[in-house]
Amino acid sequence: MAMWDVLREMENLRRDIDSAFRGFGRPQFGEAGFIPGLGVTEYPQINLAEDSDNIYVEALVPGLDPKDLELTVMRGTLTLQGERKEADGRKKAWHRNERGAGRFLRTVEIPAEVEADKVRAEYRNGVLTATLPKAEMAKPKKIDVKVA
């Protein structure tokens, strides 16, 4: 029998309410307001998938130095934060600027408990790929049915 975790449920409710009201008013720190033309789309865009042993996260973060990325896992959430720097430091008169710059923060709820000390992350061709091994208690268990 699964135990009901009141604090986790309250945190999930808070996230749902925050998500429902995101985009009203001006963007807050960590939201995608620095990306012109995308409105309230969250940055970076991610894919989240799982199989019986792992959870996989792919984040589109082209043009970033991997040293400017920070990935953390804590209590059922994955947080990705970093900073996209300007293309070059000189002042310019922009005619078009669609590649926003600045700090970002993206937090995603992980659908199962993971072994945080075994998480692996790799950055290649502008895509950050993280593999989060599921904790043994989160893996599906096959139950044999006996004939009585």
Q: Tens digits of per-residue pLDDT, 56-102?
A: 999 999 888 888 899 999 888 999 999 888 766 666 777 777 777 78
State mean pLDDT over 2-25: 72
Q: C-alpha distances in angstroms, 120 versus 61, 72, 102?
A: 17, 11, 26
Q: According to the model, what pLDDT value does residue 35 have?
A: 46
Domains of the chain plus CATH, in order, are 28-87+100-138 (2.60.40.790)
Q: How far is CA 128 from the centre of its chain?
A: 10
Read off the pLDDT band of 1 (50, 70, 90). very low
Q: Tens digits of per-residue pLDDT, 111-132?
A: 888 998 999 999 999 999 999 9
32 has pLDDT over 90: no
Q: According to the model, what pLDDT value does residue 129 have?
A: 96
Percent of the chain clearing pLDDT 90 (strictly above): 36
Burial (0-12, 13-18, 19+ Cβ within 10 Å), 61:
buried
18 has pLDDT over 80: no
pTM over cut 0.75: no
51 against 95, higher pLDDT:
51
Phi, psi of 122 (to 5 degrees): -140, 140
Structure tokens at 51: 């199989």
- Whole-number average pLDDT of the chain: 80
Highest mean pLDDT among 3-17, 30-44, 58-72, 90-104: 58-72
Phi, psi of 2 (to 5 degrees): -80, 140
